A and B are shown apart, each in its own frame.
Chain A
Amino acid sequence: MTGIFSYLVFFACVVLIFGVLALGLNLQWGFTGLFNAGIVGFYAIGAYTHAILTAAPQPQYLGNLGLPWIVGILAAMAATALAAWVIALLTIRLRGDYLAIATFGIAVSIQLVALNWEALTGGSQGLSRIPKPLSGVFDTPLAFNLWFLFLLAVIVGGIYVALERILRAPWGRVLRAIREDETAAVALGKSARRFRLEAFVLGSMLMGLAGALYVSFIGFVSPFDFLPIVTFQVWAMLIAGGSGNNRGALIGALVVWGIWSASGIAVTKVVPPSHAAQGAAVQVILIGLLLILVLLYRPRGLAGEAAVVSRHAAD
């Protein structure tokens, strides 16, 4: 049984990393109504910042400073927060779907910088030998993955508690007030723009953290980790799980990544290798259909409870 257990531990680590992304998105969308379609861009900034600071030095790269893991993590969050602040200043005035396209384009541009600026990011070859925290101590895959799962659980738990606290605190209440009825909130002297900015930056910071965690888990980063499909996956997770709901974000991460993974496994059981290509196309169709079904029959997501914020506020 250790095989399944080992795989599940690994699977759980990936789910938790996606969970951090979903929690960040939930703060931006579920609680603030910001349609961020550039998730993968912030994920990339966090990931590359961490990689550039912690990877072993190599002569042809500008970065690769070999700094400790925690420095990489904190720097990743700082760098992403800074980038998010600049981006938010430029785009916060835009209405819903325009914001989506703008953030999408920014994410595409960030990925292209990662791809083309070889001296800093390793270009299309990526950066390798990114140190995994305490891998010297936990030297078998199972031991390391268990330790990392524990680390992730602590981090995600901490974020969850912190988010729930913030959202019930005055700051969070103003945020909800702005979402429910912006005119009233503004009339009471609250700057909607400032709160939105803060929520956007905070949410993006979480996405950058997820990126740093991802590269220190896998040990390798390349521009191909940051294609738009990731943005789509995180959105699917939030929608399926229930936006406006932190628990929903985490459940969504588990369910959507579970579907993605299990459909691949199921295809190998049902379809012989000679038809693997068609089987794979069917897998993609299945994922699409499942998403549509969840939307049609559980439009408030699987977490199913009343959303904390009214849905109409988004329009």
Chain B
Amino acid sequence: MRGWIRIAVALASGLLVCAEAAAQAACPVKIGGVLPLTGSMAPITKKIAQAAELAIDHVNQGGGIKGCPVQFILRDDQGQPTVGVDAAKYLVEVERVPAFTGTISSGVTGPIISSVTAPSKVVQITCCSTASPFTLDGRSAGYFFRTIPTSKTQAYATASETTKRGLKKTAVIYVNTDFGTDMLRFYKAALTKLGGEIVIEVPYNDNQASYRAEVSKALAAKPESMLLIGFPKDAVTIVREWLSLGGPRTIALNNSMRTMDFVNGVGAKFVEDFFGMDNAQVAGPQVDAFNKAFEEKFKADSKGPGVHTQYDALMVMALAMNIAKDLTGPSIKDAVRLVHAPNGTPVGTGPGEFKKALELIKAGKPIKYFGATGPIEFDANGDVTGPALVWKVKDGQIVTDRTITIEEMQALFRRIEN
């Protein structure tokens, strides 16, 4: 046994030393990533990881960070907090990443913030973790940002759309995680203020073979519409069982369902009366450029939860790292908000725009980044607000029904919170 132990220790030391030695050199600049590549989130993470890869490609094609190429080191958190924390700690200490992106589940993001990001003062930008307390209660000491609005935006917008369409007696079926309960809480607050009515709230634990029990319970309250908060795979089961059991076809969905996986899973001809919300990817040349680049590289549709926000998270990180005077945590943290300076020259997505941004930065001029999700402007807490959009399915395609501009959103916020 002694022999095996010696070999194992030698191998492990070798791995670690190589990693750290490489980390000492100035180039390449490493960026870390922690995502649930395996586990229950895996189906949606695949495209998110692809978006990350695209961003790194564009950054490298556009000139890299401080003249160095960028190396992206992506680790799997397996959906388990301890594994995620270990991965983040490794990236920060051994690979010495100046910044990293991650992760999705707040059960994993939370411990990473409290045991790695805040103590080690390293910038973390997440594409997808929406639990509101992370930015609001000061635990991250300002080092945590997200390119996705918290559930508040989506929930308020959904409530507004629900009342606008005159939907009554809504049954809410929601995934029993921080994401689901967060959304539900904001939705309920908003809907009550706006005059709607929730007849029943039914949580569901994910990864079950059947949701007939939950669906039957919701149907027993005789609803006229349904709000489904969750993720595509289980949502397909729930919606199919709902429709089969005779549930009303007016179904509101959250942003994760805005993907062809969901539409095809349920069947395009059955979803005509559904509508969904999303944080608006403001239509525009930057968004189109991103969609096109994604589709070209991966031969797949760019729609899906987290795809655009992940791209933006990494682009913002790369821009901030170029603006920052050095690659230490505090400098990068301060530079993040300069990515969208009020008087800056607009720069968009793609390698060409990134190159343009680098030239402006070199000349000391401010930039204003418009990404795959529109203008990325972080508030004092590290959150973004944004416009919202209402989507639906027409002739088998996901189309935007209408957009809710930032001004309308802000008016809505004021109305609900006062």
Partner of A276, one of B74, B96, B137, B180: B74
Residue of B nearest to A276 (CB): B74
B19 near A265: Cβ-Cβ < 8 Å: yes
Chain A interface main SS type: helix
Chain A contacts for B37, CB-based, 8 A: 276-277, 279-280
C-alpha spacing A77/B4, complex, angstroms: 37
A3-B20, A7-B93 known; A218-B111 Cβ under 8 A? yes
Partner of A6, one of B45, B93, B111: B93
Interface string of A231-275 (1 = CB under 8 A from B): 000000000000000000000000100101110111111000110
What's the least CB distance linking A144 to chain B, in Å?
A: 7
B178 near A125: Cβ-Cβ < 8 Å: yes
A217-B115, A264-B87 known; A224-B107 Cβ under 8 A? yes
Chain A contacts for B94, CB-based, 8 A: 3-4, 7
Q: With an 8 A cutoff between CB atoms, is A225 at the interface?
A: yes
Q: With an 8 A cutoff between CB atoms, is A203 at the interface?
A: no
Q: With an 8 A cutoff between CB atoms, is A11 at the interface?
A: yes
Interface string of B167-201 (1 = CB under 8 A from A): 00000000011101110000000000000000000
Chain A contacts for B116, CB-based, 8 A: 141
B42 near A129: Cβ-Cβ < 8 Å: no
Chain A contacts for B80, CB-based, 8 A: 224, 227, 229-230
Residue of B nearest to A255 (CB): B8
B110 near A128: Cβ-Cβ < 8 Å: yes
Q: With an 8 A cutoff between CB atoms, is A284 at the interface?
A: yes
The stretch that binds B, out of A98-106, A115-123, A171-179, A189-197, is A115-123
Residue of B nearest to A130 (CB): B114
Interface string of A170-212 (1 = CB under 8 A from B): 0000000000000000000000000000000000000000000
B176 near A267: Cβ-Cβ < 8 Å: no
Q: Which of B76-122 contact A (CB under 8 A)?
A: 76, 78-83, 85-87, 89-90, 93-94, 96, 105-108, 110-111, 113-116, 119-120
Residue of B nearest to A224 (CB): B107
Most chain A CB neighbours (cut-off 10 Å) among B37, B50, B79: B37
Q: With an 8 A cutoff between CB atoms, is A30 at the interface?
A: no
Chain B contacts for A284, CB-based, 8 A: 38, 78
A273 near B82: Cβ-Cβ < 8 Å: no
Q: With an 8 A cutoff between CB atoms, is B249 at the interface?
A: no
Residue of B nearest to A5 (CB): B93
B20 near A4: Cβ-Cβ < 8 Å: yes
A3-B93, A224-B81 known; A268-B74 Cβ under 8 A? yes
Q: With an 8 A cutoff between CB atoms, is A160 at the interface?
A: no
Partner of A222, one of B52, B89, B107: B107
C-alpha spacing A116/B1, complex, angstroms: 47
Q: Which of A45-69 contact B (CB under 8 A)?
A: none
C-alpha spacing A126/B12, complex, angstroms: 34
A7-B90, A269-B15, A276-B49 known; A222-B110 Cβ under 8 A? yes
B76 near A264: Cβ-Cβ < 8 Å: yes
Partner of B119, one of A144, A222, A262: A144
Q: With an 8 A cutoff between CB atoms, is A19 at the interface?
A: no
Most chain B CB neighbours (cut-off 10 Å) among A3, A10, A225, A267: A3
Q: With an 8 A cutoff between CB atoms, is B139 at the interface?
A: yes
Q: With an 8 A cutoff between CB atoms, is B217 at the interface?
A: no
Interface string of A1-33 (1 = CB under 8 A from B): 101101110110010000000000000000000
Interface string of A114-147 (1 = CB under 8 A from B): 0110100001111011000000000011001000
B20 near A128: Cβ-Cβ < 8 Å: no
What's the least CB distance linking B28 to chain A, in Å?
A: 13
C-alpha spacing A115/B90, complex, angstroms: 29
C-alpha spacing A4/B108, complex, angstroms: 23
28 CB-based A-B contacts, threshold 8 Å: A1-B20, A3-B23, A4-B16, A4-B20, A7-B89, A7-B90, A10-B86, A116-B203, A128-B133, A129-B137, A144-B119, A218-B115, A219-B111, A220-B110, A220-B114, A224-B80, A227-B80, A229-B80, A230-B82, A255-B8, A258-B8, A262-B11, A264-B87, A269-B18, A273-B72, A277-B37, A283-B76, A284-B38
Instruction: List the interface of chain B (C-beta within 8 A of A).
Output: 1, 4, 8, 11-12, 15-20, 23, 33, 35, 37-38, 42, 45-46, 49-50, 52-53, 56, 72-76, 78-83, 85-87, 89-90, 93-94, 96, 105-108, 110-111, 113-116, 119-120, 131, 133, 137, 139, 176-178, 180-182, 203, 205
**What 4 pairs between A and B have smallest CB-CB spacing?**
A224-B107, A280-B37, A219-B114, A7-B93
